[in-house]
Amino acid sequence: MTTPLAAILAARIAAAGPMTVADYMAECLLHPEHGYYAAHEPFGAAGDFITAPEISQLFGEIVGAVLINAWRQAGRPSPFLLAEAGPGRGTLVADIVRTARVDPGFSDAAQIVLIEASVRLRDVQREMLGADAHRVTWADTLDDLPALPLFLVANEFFDALPIRQFVRTGDGWRERMVGLGRDDALAFVAGATALPDGDLPQNHAATPDGSIFEIAPAREAAASVIGAHLATHGGLAVLIDYGHLRTAIGDTFQAMRGHGFTDPLAEPGLADLTSHVDFDALARAAVAEGARALPAMTQADFLLGGGIVERAGALGAGKDASAQDEIRAAVARLCGDGDGQMGALFKVLALAGKNLDGPVPPFQAG
């Protein structure tokens, strides 16, 4: 299937040569007229995927409780930034703000900042927050955050930031590019740029030709900004995404449309493009700026350690059997490791600032 953006990209490649996977992702997601985020509502049952906050309020309540406890552990700084990067429809931040009312000191001291460049999504978030919207300011990038202690969550933010891919060939690791194949259709090709062996995992020599290795400078740059802010001003960042705990060889570039996977080159602008997040690389980038990385864990361990079972019991108390079944199903989807469940696939990394020593529950000390 061709799309308007496919024609634009094919013409650009024909004129200037193949483009990197990073450039291709950026165009597909952010093209001002035909990009995925410019023209689609990706979230929820009617969209292309459902994020954890849309599954149950329990997710946001646990995240909120973790941030509140970390704020207390950090000495109750006031004022501070309560921030979310990539807030989507605003469901998660709305649940956190509601949960924060259990501690008026936290709620009163919080300056709420949403890192969101899309004007359309800002309007959606404003509507979701309702009476609390007047408390929110929006920032285009992480670099725009005010110089205050930071308590931040980023749920499915890093996976959409562009990646570069390198393919192993008989002539070394060459950058994987998007070029033109048969009938001028978009196709993967090997480019001229090589990746030095020192930038590859230790086991790279044993991998066969055709193997893929991914790097994500944009993700590491974002982690560096967060790490530097925490090192200077203190606080905690909770990063949640699907991905792997250790840097490894593998092709994770994927496209999602209609709650199913599709070819990343088949429908530019109509499908969401992402890849699995390398949490090891994020941690290294933040630590290099002076933050402390606490050992990453699965989403299941994070939510169970944060008390989701106990909170689910309280939420279901007094409700009918149907409502209780829905709550149990939501917990299973958030914490399970079966097909379609998120507990093992998604990982959670916490980055701590100068005012947080030792463990920060449910995270252990690094």
Residue 258's pLDDT band (boundaries 50, 70, 90)?
Answer: confident
Residue 184's pLDDT band (boundaries 50, 70, 90)?
Answer: confident
Query: Can you give the pLDDT at residue 109?
Result: 98
Residue 182 one-letter amino acid? R
- Using the 8-state DSSP alphabet, how is residue 62 labeled? H
What span, in angstroms and rounded, lies between the C-alpha atoms of 209 and 211? 6
Most confident of 42-56, 207-221, 352-366: 207-221
Residue 230's pLDDT band (boundaries 50, 70, 90)?
Answer: very high
Residue 43's pLDDT band (boundaries 50, 70, 90)?
Answer: low
Query: Can you give the pLDDT at residue 284?
Result: 97
Query: Can you give the pLDDT at residue 354?
Result: 85
Least-confidence region, from 92-96, 204-208, 352-356? 204-208
What span, in angstroms and rounded, lies between the C-alpha atoms of 306 and 314? 14
Residue 203's pLDDT band (boundaries 50, 70, 90)?
Answer: confident
- Is pLDDT above 90 for 30? no
Residue 275's pLDDT band (boundaries 50, 70, 90)?
Answer: very high
pTM: 0.93
Of 352, 205, 235, 226, nearest to 285 by C-alpha is 226
Residue 229's pLDDT band (boundaries 50, 70, 90)?
Answer: very high
Residue 153's pLDDT band (boundaries 50, 70, 90)?
Answer: very high
What span, in angstroms and rounded, lies between the C-alpha atoms of 165 and 342? 25
Average pLDDT over residues 9-35: 94
Query: Can you give the pLDDT at residue 177?
Result: 97
CA distances from 149 to 12, 51, 231, 365 (A): 44, 27, 10, 20
CB atoms < 10 A from the CB of 138, how many? 18
Q: Parallel, antiparallel, or unpaired: how do β-strands 272-274 and 19-20 relate?
A: unpaired
What span, in angstroms and rounded, lies between the C-alpha atoms of 181 and 168? 20
- Which percentage of the chain shows pLDDT scores above 90? 81
Residue 47's pLDDT band (boundaries 50, 70, 90)?
Answer: low
55: exposed, middle or buried (Cβ count in 10 Å: 0-12, 13-18, 19+): middle
User: Where does CATH 3.40.50.12710 sit in the chain?
Assistant: 37-162+215-352
List the beta bridge partners of residue 218: none
What span, in angstroms and rounded, lies between the C-alpha atoms of 114 and 85? 6
| CATH fold label, 37-162+215-352 | Rossmann fold (3.40.50)
For 332-363, how does the pLDDT look when each residue is reduced to its tens digit (9 = 90+)? Answer: 999 999 988 999 999 999 999 988 999 999 99
Of 261, 326, 301, nearest to 55 by C-alpha is 326
